Amino acid sequence: MTDMRNLRKRAPESCPQCGDAEFEHYETGNPRGSGGACLDWLVRCRGCGGLWRAFAQISTVQAGAPLDWFGVESDARTAPRVEPRRPTAPPCPACRVELSLSGWAECARCGWLKYPTCAREKWGHVGGCPHCGFVYRWDGTTCSHCGHTRPTEPFDAQWRTDTVVSLASQMYESRDFSAMPILADALQDAGCGSADVLDHCRDEGPHVRGCWVVDLVLGKE
Pairing of β 36-45 and β 32-33: antiparallel
Rounded Cα distance between 142 and 87, Å, is 36
Cβ pair 196, 210 in contact under 8 A? no
Which pLDDT does position 149 carry in this prediction? Answer: 62
Q: How many helices (H) and strands (E) does the chain have?
A: 7, 7
Give the H/E segment covering residue 164. Answer: helix 162-174
Cβ pair 69, 54 in contact under 8 A? yes
Which residues make Cβ contacts (< 8 Å) with residue 114, sequence separation at least 6? 104, 105, 106
Which pLDDT does position 36 carry in this prediction? Answer: 78
Rounded Cα distance between 110 and 103, Å, is 13
Rounded Cα distance between 19 and 48, Å, is 9
Rounded Cα distance between 18 and 95, Å, is 60
Which pLDDT does position 32 carry in this prediction? Answer: 78
Which pLDDT does position 121 carry in this prediction? Answer: 46
Residues of the chain with pLDDT under 50: 1, 118-125, 138-139
